[in-house]
A and B are shown apart, each in its own frame.
Chain A
Amino acid sequence: MKRPQSYTIEHTKRIWAYTFLVVPVLFYLTIRFYPTFYAFFLSLTDWDIVSRDKNFIGLTNYRNLFQDPIFWKTLSNTGFYVLYGLPISLLSGFILAYNIDRLKKGEGVFKALYFLPYITSMVAIAWVWRWLYQPAPIGVFNKILISIGLPQQKFLFSQTQALPSILAPTIWADVGFQLIIFLAGLKGISRQYYEAAEIDGADNWDQLRYITLPLLKPTIVFLIITGTIRYLRIFTQVLNMSYQGEGGPLNSTKPLVLYIYHSAFQQFDMGYAAAMTVILFLIILMITLIQLKVMKSED
């Protein structure tokens, strides 16, 4: 039987397409989807990795979680990281981008200067800042405080100062990212809007309020959503900046992900830790859905 040539070409193309996809599809199924379902399953068991059998215990892990004061503490710490860290880094990123955008020259240098911390290893950053926070005569911050006649601060050793002290380098490393995205957003606004506004006699504040900010809304939504997820997942800096990586003093800096890590890989309470990852997943899912909804209503 003779097939028309175009049919054979389409047929060959399809076979190639499926061939190209075999390995990737297997990868995504085994390394992404299967583990996701497995985490859900584990969260319903009491498995401790050592024992042979996994006992199905229903929602017990979740019930225990809701009665676990450390879980609530880590959840509220995580909330602090998000609610203080994100607005501060967003606002600083915007102010910097707004001013860099209005420079006559040298934009590239400034972008590079502020962006460098963002691509630096968080482990290195955490230890450098941990050193800066040490008591005098080691720590630079305390030496500066003393030299201008102010009392030393305890920083990482204080239950109230430790969390903001960990947040500072986090924001420091994050600002560059917000700045670059804001700057790209600002460049996308046509100059014609501003020229028209100037003719109408609008000053800088009016322009910022009625042109720049409304037109930046998609950028701002994007940065809020991705930023929330990034701050929700804080882990590396806390493990490296607190004494023995415990999220102290007295759990005052411990975020949810560090508690997950301790439960899973130090206590080997796999089921309990898996239940916490499911909760983290649901929070992130909710935020992503809100983003999709806000973005849709934009169109």
Chain B
Amino acid sequence: MKTNYKPIDVLRPVILIILGLLMLFPFAWMIATSFKQGRDVFSLSIIPENPTFANYLNIFSNSNFPFWFLNSLIVGLAVTASVLFFDSLVGFTLSKYSFRGKKIIFILILSTMMIPTEMLVIPWYIMSNELHWVDTYWGVMFPGLMSGFGTFLMRQFFQTVPEDLLDAGRIDGLNEFYLFSRIAIPLVKPALSALAIFSFIGNWNAFMWPLIVSNKVTMYTLPVGLSFFNGEFQSQWEMVMTGASIATIPVFFIFILFQRQIIQGIALTGVKG
């Protein structure tokens, strides 16, 4: 039997590796520079000659980064919890019950995916201003507490939960919320974890709305803080790169841990968190 090895089979991975490493270069320089100080900052080398944690210590003790990091964490976790609960509850209701108005509610929720955020931020800001939500966690969080996309995703997955299973529970006298939370939810865990990861990363990286609704420096989220911090420290690029690394590294860890779910989820749904 002839072996079908052509030059392209060797060339292909080599070219892909070179391109892939080129893709990583901005990250490599960013992280390398965050460990450099003084004249080393201007050197091209990827490996710092005198690696130092000084920039990180400096940022965490002399800036508001600890606040921003904490704010992003709180907002990301709370919004994700809300999205998981409500999107799956609504997805479950729309897939497992029949009632008047079901179709209209489904279409209305779907159609919200078409409304650009840019159109909503002005009314949201006016609302937040009148209700004193500016500079509060609630103000940053309220627009994202539920999502049309997540509802659609969860509804699709609940369709696969067999009706008999729920009916068996009903005969045993379990109430509907119990059926949802204890029987249906465990069966859609893969979808839930994908939704959780998208939602958290999306909120962690969100920029426009947190920028608009926060005026107090200590209420900024990480991207907003980073943007202002960098504007202030523009001449000290090692500080800018340290800030960028702090915003990026948690997402790297999430990615390394959940790479399979993230990539499968993206392929499945084609949507960024």
Give residues in B with beta carbon < 8 Å to A: 9, 12-13, 15-16, 19-21, 23-24, 26-27, 29-30, 33, 42, 44, 86, 89-90, 92-93, 97, 99, 102, 105, 108-109, 112, 114-127, 129, 142-143, 145-146, 170, 175-177, 180, 201, 204-205, 207-208, 212, 222-224, 226-227, 230-231, 237, 240-241, 243-245, 247-248, 251-252, 255, 259, 262-263, 266-268, 270-273
Tell whether, in the assembled complex, residue B29 and residue A132 are in contact, meaning their CB atoms are under 8 Å apart.
yes
From A82-90, A104-112, A152-160, the one touching the partner chain is: A104-112
Q: Once the chains are docked, how many angstroms separate the CA of A114 from the CA of B121?
A: 32
Shortest C-beta distance, A24 to chain B (Å), equals 5
Tell whether, in the assembled complex, residue B247 and residue A124 are in contact, meaning their CB atoms are under 8 Å apart.
yes
Shortest C-beta distance, A109 to chain B (Å), equals 8
Q: Once the chains are docked, how many angstroms separate the CA of A182 from the CA of B99?
A: 39
From A35-43, A67-75, A189-197, the one touching the partner chain is: A35-43
Q: For B272, what are the chain A residues with a Cβ–Cβ distance below 8 Å?
A: 118-119, 177
Q: Once the chains are docked, how many angstroms separate the CA of A285 from the CA of B115?
A: 8
Tell whether, in the assembled complex, residue A23 and residue B267 are in contact, meaning their CB atoms are under 8 Å apart.
no
Tell whether, in the assembled complex, residue B226 and residue A39 are in contact, meaning their CB atoms are under 8 Å apart.
no
Across chains A and B, which 7 residue pairs bring their CB atoms closest together, nearest first? A35-B123, A184-B267, A16-B176, A113-B20, A124-B244, A17-B97, A277-B119
Q: Is the interface of A mostly helix, strand, loop or mixed?
A: helix
Q: Once the chains are docked, how many angstroms separate the CA of A236 from the CA of B211?
A: 10
Tell whether, in the assembled complex, residue A281 and residue B267 are in contact, meaning their CB atoms are under 8 Å apart.
no
Tell whether, in the assembled complex, residue B16 and residue A131 are in contact, meaning their CB atoms are under 8 Å apart.
no
Q: Once the chains are docked, how many angstroms separate the CA of A209 from the CA of B122?
A: 47
Number of residue pairs across A and B with beta carbons under 8 Å? Answer: 236
A210 lies within 8 A of chain B by Cβ:
no
| Residues 77 to 133 of chain A near chain B (Cβ within 8 Å) | 96, 99-100, 102-104, 106, 108, 110-125, 127-129, 131-132
Q: For A120, what are the chain B residues with a Cβ–Cβ distance below 8 Å?
A: 27, 205, 248, 251
- Given A13-B176, A222-B270, A281-B119, are A240 and B251 also a contact pair (CB < 8 Å)? no
Q: Once the chains are docked, how many angstroms separate the CA of A137 from the CA of B120?
A: 43
Q: For A285, what are the chain B residues with a Cβ–Cβ distance below 8 Å?
A: 114
Q: For A236, what are the chain B residues with a Cβ–Cβ distance below 8 Å?
A: 207-208, 223
Q: For B123, what are the chain A residues with a Cβ–Cβ distance below 8 Å?
A: 34-36, 38-39, 42
Q: For B268, what are the chain A residues with a Cβ–Cβ distance below 8 Å?
A: 184
A280 lies within 8 A of chain B by Cβ:
yes
A163 lies within 8 A of chain B by Cβ:
no
